[in-house]
A and B are shown apart, each in its own frame.
Chain A
Amino acid sequence: MAQVYFDDVQEGQDIPTLEKTPSRRTLVMWAGASGDFFELHYDKEFAQSLGNPDVLVHGRLEAAYLTQLLTDWVGEKGTVKKVSVQYRGNAFPGQKLLMKGKVTKKYQKDGENLVELEIFVENPEGKKITPGSAIVALPKK
């Protein structure tokens, strides 16, 4: 993907969506790769005993997807400075999740070209289950 530059970014602009459909296998891989072995995320009986219809996608996996949304966008010369998320809803394995972002502000501070974004994970019903915000630094032409 071509490098994005601070000069070309506009407030209100959408960044390219990242799409993921985590499976049960993904959740087991995440448990192993991340060290989160809470049964809620791979044992359906356990998840149901807590009143959930199925196992839940780890909120941190969604946060990792949102971070990838940003690293994909800022490219090799950009850096992700900050990511904040709020966990508002659950995602289940097999659901297509869309990671989206919109530029809310661009400014220069301490010699850096900073861009603030609204980011969120959208579930198949179109609900923002994990809204948040981010700050990235971009190169200038």
Chain B
Amino acid sequence: MTTDSRKFAKTQDEVKTYLGKKREETMEIDGTVIRAFCECIGDPNPMWKDTAPPGLVTTAMISSGAMLIGVPLLYKRSVAGGADWEFFKPIKKGDVIHTTHEFSALEEKSSDKGPRLLMVYKSSHKNQKGEVVAISTNTIMNF
């Protein structure tokens, strides 16, 4: 059985009221996190011992918590449209990463294929020294 726990809005204006809403989370990067990531993708590079590979930022626990902001959808179907990641500093073993997710933009992209909304989430990742280590942008297509 499948359940649908998603929230829906009645109008685009209702979705708009969520613009600027934020959510914070914290994650400790230990050796186990780095090792589990490297084993999973099959990256044996010896550089990833005390430094995390930049790909670690692509994981859901670091850059997709934005979905938990709880922005309602307007249309039934949604897929991840794209993402980008900017890497400013390496993440080191022992770092504590504080992430601020924000529902940052809403774009109407309706065409002859039907109505479509692009929902953009921006996540900024800082280490325990307050340095921005990476910024993630995720775009969800709702149609």
Q: Which A residues contact B (CB, under 8 angstroms)?
A: 20, 26, 29-30, 32-36, 39, 46, 49, 59-61, 63-65, 67-68, 71-72, 76, 79-87, 132
Asked whether, in the complex, the Cβ of B80 is within 8 Å of the Cβ of A33, the reply is: no
- Interface SS of chain B: mixed
Assembled-state Cα–Cα distance A101/B18 (Å): 38
Please tell me which one of the listed residues B36, B41, B83, B85 contacts residue A65 in the complex, with CB atoms under 8 A apart: B41
Asked whether, in the complex, the Cβ of A84 is within 8 Å of the Cβ of B83, the reply is: yes
Give every chain B residue within 8 A of A86 (Cβ-Cβ).
81-82
Asked whether, in the complex, the Cβ of A60 is within 8 Å of the Cβ of B39, the reply is: no
If the complex has contacts A34-B61, A68-B41, are A83 and B79 also in contact, measured as CB distance less than 8 A?
Answer: no
Assembled-state Cα–Cα distance A85/B55 (Å): 13
Assembled-state Cα–Cα distance A86/B79 (Å): 11
Q: Which B residues contact A (CB, under 8 angstroms)?
A: 2, 33, 36-37, 39-43, 45, 47, 53-55, 58-61, 64, 79-87, 90
Asked whether, in the complex, the Cβ of A71 is within 8 Å of the Cβ of B54, the reply is: yes
Query: CB-nearest residue of chain A relative to B39?
Result: A29
Extra 17 A-B pairs, beta carbons < 8 Å, given A33-B59, A71-B53? A26-B40, A29-B40, A30-B41, A33-B37, A34-B59, A35-B60, A60-B58, A60-B64, A61-B40, A64-B58, A65-B55, A67-B58, A67-B85, A71-B43, A80-B87, A83-B54, A86-B82
Assembled-state Cα–Cα distance A83/B85 (Å): 5
Give every chain A residue within 8 A of B43 (Cβ-Cβ).
68, 71
